[in-house]
Chain A
């Protein structure tokens, strides 16, 4: 029996060892567990930081949205102000136009296109009559200076120049003189930006016309550079200057008091052009006007710039193919340059 017991004890010995091993196994197995504690802690920190970032981005988004709203509001206010400013400008322009038109009376003829707006008025004053054209140029190319036969030395009536170019309105242009059987323009003539026959310096002869942008150019130019820097596109010359910057200019004595037919080119303060032809030398119709009186009349009309073009028998006013004025020679005098307005 003792031997059996011994046998059993020895037989069970390995199992007791195994049991002892398994008793200590949980601790060993615990080591197999993933060490996630630090990971959890790290995740917790990141979560906290992300929460803060999210809160900050939320504040940022709200601030930006608020900024955008303010910009939008300011933009709307500016738009409204710009609209009102434009309305007021239009109102101001409209009032100015009304005041000019009130001085000119009702128009006897009008023309409006995408290039130009023309209003023709009768001038009927004590002792003289004539016609006035108020021109709004939308296209600077609508005003042209036409050289007779398109080259220096020739003569041509205003009606012919108008017909030849297909213009809707025309007046005679700058002064001219005869030299060796050729008729040449006085002073400086510019056609399509080019000086005809070069630059002629002068102390009293003015140049009047338009620049490339359609703005009025006028003045006495003693240097070619002074004229060219204004970028002249079309223009003619004669004398004297009547109104400069809204103020009457001094007129030479010999021009002051004689009543003659006159042709005037000028500009209103709003940039509109004014062309005036006054008849003269016809006692039963119009005796003509002195330049002094014309200066006063131009000032009354609100003209800012006024220049006396070639007058006398040359003064002619053509509108829609018709000679509106009565040229003093009883017929149109051929001239060297004409100013025409394209329809």
Chain B
């Protein structure tokens, strides 16, 4: 008898569980929709958060790169200006050297002229010595 009673109670409990399972597993469409919307919201939130975070990180890298490039460009410009100055100085030195070369040639010519004139002077003085 007791066994029968106990068996009845167990069957009753199983039924309740089954009913409750039947109640939980079988969510109403509204609950299902809400759950889906919640899931979608989380997905969208995750997406935008990730996008924001990703964009921020990219932007930081871009900024760093841009700054580095700018610094490098500035230094290259400075180098180019230095090279330009050096070129100018060298050109100026080259022109001056060329000018110096022509002046030296002119100088040699003048030395030769002076030598010639001194010889002429010597000749003239010798002639003067023979003057009556």
Binding site for B on A (CB under 8 A): 3-4, 7, 11-12, 14-15, 18-19, 22, 25-26, 29-30, 32-34, 36, 39-40, 43, 46-47, 50-51, 53-54, 57-58, 60-61, 64-65, 67-68, 71-72, 74-75, 78-79, 81-82, 85-86, 88-89, 92-93, 95-96, 99-100, 102-103, 246, 269-270, 300-302, 304
* Cα distance, A19 to B107, chains bound together (Å): 85
Interface size classification for chain B: 35 or more
> B61–A32 contact, CB under 8 A?
yes
Which residues of B sit under 8 angstroms from A67, Cβ to Cβ?
100
> A92–B127 contact, CB under 8 A?
yes
Residue B118 CB within 8 A of the other chain: yes
Residue B128 CB within 8 A of the other chain: yes
Q: Which of A34, A61, A102, A269 contacts B68 (CB 8 A)?
A: A34
Interface of B is mostly: helix
> A54–B89 contact, CB under 8 A?
yes
* Cα distance, A92 to B58, chains bound together (Å): 95
Q: Which of chain A's residues has its CB closest to B126's CB? A: A269
> B24–A3 contact, CB under 8 A?
yes
Q: Which of A36, A50, A78, A92 contacts B125 (CB 8 A)?
A: A92
Q: Which of chain B's residues has its CB closest to A303's CB? A: B132
Which residues of A sit under 8 angstroms from B92, Cβ to Cβ?
61
> A39–B72 contact, CB under 8 A?
yes
> B124–A72 contact, CB under 8 A?
no
> A57–B131 contact, CB under 8 A?
no
Which residues of B sit under 8 angstroms from A246, Cβ to Cβ?
130
Could you jot down 21 A-B contacts, CB within 8 Å? A18-B46, A29-B57, A32-B65, A36-B72, A47-B79, A54-B89, A57-B93, A58-B89, A60-B93, A64-B97, A64-B100, A68-B96, A71-B107, A74-B107, A75-B106, A75-B110, A78-B114, A79-B110, A89-B117, A100-B131, A246-B130
> B104–A71 contact, CB under 8 A?
yes
* Cα distance, A117 to B75, chains bound together (Å): 78
> B57–A57 contact, CB under 8 A?
no
- Fill in one digit per residue for B60-103: 1 if any A CB lies within 8 Å of its CB, else 0: 11001100110110011011001101100110110011011001
* Cα distance, A88 to B71, chains bound together (Å): 71
> B110–A18 contact, CB under 8 A?
no
> A12–B50 contact, CB under 8 A?
no
> B99–A68 contact, CB under 8 A?
yes
* Cα distance, A88 to B89, chains bound together (Å): 45
Contact status of A25 and B110, CB under 8 A, knowing A92-B125, A96-B127: no
Which residues of B sit under 8 angstroms from A40, Cβ to Cβ?
68, 71-72, 75
